[in-house]
Structure 1
Amino acid sequence: MKRLKKKHVVRWITRKVVFPLVYHINALRPIKKDKVLFMEGRFSEVTDNFTEIIRVLEQDYNLDIHYHFLLQGFVSNKETIRRQIAFVKDAATAAFLIYNDASDTQGAFKVRKGTRVLNTWHGAGAFKKFGLSTADKIFGGSRKEQLRYNAHPHYDLFTVSSPEVEWAYVEALGKEKDSESIKGVGLSRTDVFYRKEYIDSAKDKLISEFPEAAGQKVILYAPTFRGRMKRAETPNELDLELFYKELSDEYVVLIKHHPLVKKAKRPVVDDRFKAFAKDVTDTMAISDLLCVSDICITDYSSLIYEYSIFERPMVFFAYDLENYCDWRGFYYNYDEMTPGPVCRTNEEMIDYIKNVEDRFDKKAVHDFREKFMSGCDGHATERIIDMFFGDRIEAYRK
């Protein structure tokens, strides 16, 4: 109890006093007009939410680019605070701040005039609820609790995959009075799906990582996590033995757990199936896996939006649909929105996969793509850079 109380006190002091004070003291210095700062909240390296933007900036401009990795939930509280303070101090003189998630660190201080803020959100579409949309759900705290610590500053641009889903982000971020920044101009990271060389490279990576996949069709199993983010669990309902028995002549299975699920909590692939199934969570990026997969099995993961770009079959393994809906909820009716069969059992999935050529409804996937991914056309990065930076970095063009 004392530890929990101390945790809340530390959070209040850092977000309400320390971070704003550090920012405003350092903001007494002038803005560096060529300074661009990227911040990753949880991960130790730059994710694909940033990579295409960084590639263009490094290729075409001479800019002072900074990176911060907070590793929240993955290092000690003391180390996290040290990283947060370093980020806040550095942000105070940046001309451009770029995020890809929600964080009460980035929302703790009011950004100074002259600094522009971009969020290249990490999920496409609008599937499971998040942010303030979960205020009445088990997953989220009360609206009052969530509003106590601001997770989002004022944005100049917040990118989503399509105009269709802008309303959901306005609700989740609580931006009803500041909705004009949320734009369905596309997600930068999806541009790679339109490049043949990227897809070919992904195929090469697959064979290098899993030679047994050569000549086989690929099933990707990529479930989302269960529970709360800091203690994320992964499902263990996929019956690999049955899949092996029924499908191993034609298919291999690649397993990609949610990145929040720590390795110790992931099911281990039985040695009997190691030529048929492989956990590639730590060895292959999800963008590569979407390129090489012939069928995707998921549940409530937003990767279905990106996968729809390829217009390939999807299977929804929703064995716990009612519980998940009570826990977190959805922005659209689950059964009506999903562009593929919703299955409760392994047997249903196997039956569909065996008959996929006859049962696959490509038009349903195409219509889904047009509705939810219209901004992701292979040119999102150039639109985002033009809208966010404009002519402010022309002086630094190579």
Structure 2
Amino acid sequence: MFAKKYVKKNGKRVLFTSASRAEMGGNLGAVYNRMLERGLDNDYKIYKVFKRNIWDRSKFLDKFKLPFYLGISDTILIEDYHPLVNKLNYDNDTEIIQLWHANGAFKTFGYSRLGKPASPLIDGMNHRIYTKAITSSKHVIPYYAEAFAINESNVVATGIPKTDMFFNEEYIEETKSKVLYAYPQIKKAKKVILFGPTFRGGGPKTAYYPFEKIDFEALAEYCRKNDALFIFKMHFLVKNKLDIPERYSDVLINATEYREINDLLFVADILISDYSSTIYEYSLLNKPMLFFAFDLEDYIATRDFYEKFEDFVPGKIVKTFDELLFSLETHNYEFEKVQMFREKNFEFLNGGASDRVIDWLILKDYVGFEFSGEDLDQKNLVIQQGNYEDKGRVV
């Protein structure tokens, strides 16, 4: 690689890159924005290269810029599978940090899916190059280590940067205003229901959702009867298009083109999902969820979960659309599961994940973070990854 050979590292170059988003956002955006807020762009040179979808062609200049930046950067941050990042060889002092876009460990991914459709090759190199990866809590560290085929000591429970916004009331109110501007119908609804399922299929090239499972007429009737608004936010990989009949447009909204589902969570009174990791973020809002899992057995056979689905999810499971509507009508959500889920799957419930990523993994500065008695395992991991100064902290 030309850049690696002729441009000397200086410890001050950081690259943010994604192969599945057109612009800064998600975990990358949270860390990037926090670096700017802290003025770190005065000391560090920050590069950015993005591509809308993994199957899209790169922009002409990006074909040269991205390999060059990969070669000269000291720290490379990604939040998804990035083909080019995984293809190159790097100096031993290059940090490649995976800020995986999902929270927690729900459905299996990476090398945890060996033997399943579209799983990586057992001797493949995808993911193995990461020097660090982050998780929402300590108990999922073994799952991420397995999925990325890296050592558990290289997986750190910093919390998930994009969840910092859930602890910022000013941000929440600003985001609500932005969503209401985009979808003014929300203002008139007494109940806002967000439908955010994941895709079916083996991967980006075959991703789809079986829209025939949705009874649009019955759903519109329920919404009109209950002054409700139903918002569809399909997974960005889904290739077959959602087509809502025009006669239902007063109560059914297609918000698939709205990039950040987290923004929509703030205006939703109920989330309906299936196997999507969006449930982690939504649990932070302490609101009810339903799980439309009509194909649970098939999904287990082809994708599977780290824990038993029925015992894990924070809400009621329904298998048919009639059951889904009945649960909505009767307010049967099994809401008591939400708090237990939240406490299990989040190491920190006070924000600050972006700062921990920056300080622990980019700056390698562990001073200023207190570890309580129950955080000794995390402290030991931090010590393994750099100098930790214990100046009278509670340990």
Determine if the TM-score, normalized by the shorter chain, exceeds 0.5: yes
1:94 to 73, 81, 94: 73
Q: What amino acid is aligned across from residue 90 of structure 1 in structure 2?
A: Y
Alpha-carbon distance between aligned partners in 1 of 2:270 and 2:169, rounded to the nearest angstrom:
19
Cα shift readout 1:107-128 (whole Å, capped 9, x = no counterpart): 2334214332322110001111
> Are positions 1:231 and 2:242 aligned together?
no
Map of 2:221 onto structure 1:
245
Please say if residues 135 and 160 of structure 2, whose CA atoms lie closer than 8 Å, have aligned partners that are also in contact.
Answer: yes
Distance 1:285 1:150, change over 3 A: closer
| Map 1:226-305 → 2, pairs under 5 A | 226-227=200-201, 228-236=203-211, 237-248=213-224, 249-262=226-239, 265-283=240-258, 285-305=260-280
Distance 1:331 1:82, change over 3 A: farther
SS in 1 for 2:86: coil
| Map 1:35-54 → 2, pairs under 5 A | 35-54=13-32
| Map 1:1-398 → 2, pairs under 5 A | 22=1, 26-59=4-37, 60-61=39-40, 62=42, 63-71=44-52, 73-76=54-57, 79=58, 83=62, 86-143=65-122, 147-155=123-131, 157-175=132-150, 178-216=151-189, 217-227=191-201, 228-236=203-211, 237-248=213-224, 249-262=226-239, 265-283=240-258, 285-356=260-331, 359-375=332-348, 377-390=350-363
Alpha-carbon distance between aligned partners in 1 of 2:314 and 2:56, rounded to the nearest angstrom:
39
Q: What amino acid is aligned across from residue 191 of structure 1 in structure 2?
A: D
Alpha-carbon distance between aligned partners in 2 of 1:40 and 1:198, rounded to the nearest angstrom:
24
SS in 2 for 1:107: helix
Cα shift readout 1:195-216 (whole Å, capped 9, x = no counterpart): 1122212222232222222142
Q: What amino acid is aligned across from residue 107 of structure 1 in structure 2?
A: N
Distance 1:391 1:134, change over 3 A: closer
How many equivalent pairs are there?
Answer: 359
Shift of 1:300: 0.6
Please say if residues 20 and 80 of structure 2, whose CA atoms lie closer than 8 Å, have aligned partners that are also in contact.
Answer: no
Please say if residues 191 and 376 of structure 1, whose CA atoms lie closer than 8 Å, have aligned partners that are also in contact.
Answer: no
Shift of 1:39: 1.0
Please say if residues 98 and 130 of structure 2, whose CA atoms lie closer than 8 Å, have aligned partners that are also in contact.
Answer: no
Cα shift readout 1:72-129 (whole Å, capped 9, x = no counterpart): 54324xx489745532222211122111122342223342143323221100011111
Distance 1:32 1:235, change over 3 A: farther
Q: What amino acid is aligned across from residue 30 of structure 1 in structure 2?
A: K
Q: What amino acid is aligned across from residue 206 of structure 1 in structure 2?
A: V
Q: Point out the more displaced range, 88-97 or 320-329.
A: 88-97
Alpha-carbon distance between aligned partners in 2 of 1:324 and 1:90, rounded to the nearest angstrom:
39
Q: What amino acid is aligned across from residue 22 of structure 2 in structure 1?
A: S
SS in 1 for 2:97: strand
Shift of 1:374: 2.6
Flag the structure with more relative contact order, 1 or 2, with Cα contacts below 8 A and sequence separation at least 6. Answer: 1
**TM value normalised by structure 1:** 0.84
Distance 1:171 1:376, change over 3 A: farther
Q: Point out the more displaced range, 188-197 or 247-256.
A: 247-256
**TM value normalised by structure 2:** 0.85
Please say if residues 71 and 80 of structure 1, whose CA atoms lie closer than 8 Å, have aligned partners that are also in contact.
Answer: no
Q: Point out the more displaced range, 210-219 or 185-194.
A: 210-219
Alpha-carbon distance between aligned partners in 2 of 1:48 and 1:132, rounded to the nearest angstrom:
23
Alpha-carbon distance between aligned partners in 2 of 1:381 and 1:73, rounded to the nearest angstrom:
25
Alpha-carbon distance between aligned partners in 1 of 2:53 and 2:181, rounded to the nearest angstrom:
32
Alpha-carbon distance between aligned partners in 1 of 2:364 and 2:141, rounded to the nearest angstrom:
26
Distance 1:51 1:72, change over 3 A: closer
Alpha-carbon distance between aligned partners in 1 of 2:278 and 2:297, rounded to the nearest angstrom:
21
Q: What amino acid is aligned across from residue 118 of structure 1 in structure 2?
A: I
Distance 1:284 1:66, change over 3 A: closer
Q: What amino acid is aligned across from residue 237 of structure 2 in structure 1?
A: L
Q: What amino acid is aligned across from residue 65 of structure 1 in structure 2?
A: I
SS in 2 for 1:92: helix
Cα shift readout 1:7-53 (whole Å, capped 9, x = no counterpart): xxxxxxxxxxxxxxx26x63342113321111112222122111121
SS in 2 for 1:123: coil
SS in 2 for 1:200: helix
Q: What amino acid is aligned across from residue 291 of structure 1 in structure 2?
A: F
Cα shift readout 1:198-241 (whole Å, capped 9, x = no counterpart): 22122222322222221421100011011122221123122221
Alpha-carbon distance between aligned partners in 2 of 1:42 and 1:35, rounded to the nearest angstrom:
22
Runs of 4+ in 1 over 6 A off after TM superposition: none
Distance 1:290 1:171, change over 3 A: same
Q: Point out the more displaced range, 198-207 or 345-354.
A: 198-207
Cα RMSD of the aligned pairs, angstroms, is 2.2
Alpha-carbon distance between aligned partners in 2 of 1:279 and 1:203, rounded to the nearest angstrom:
17
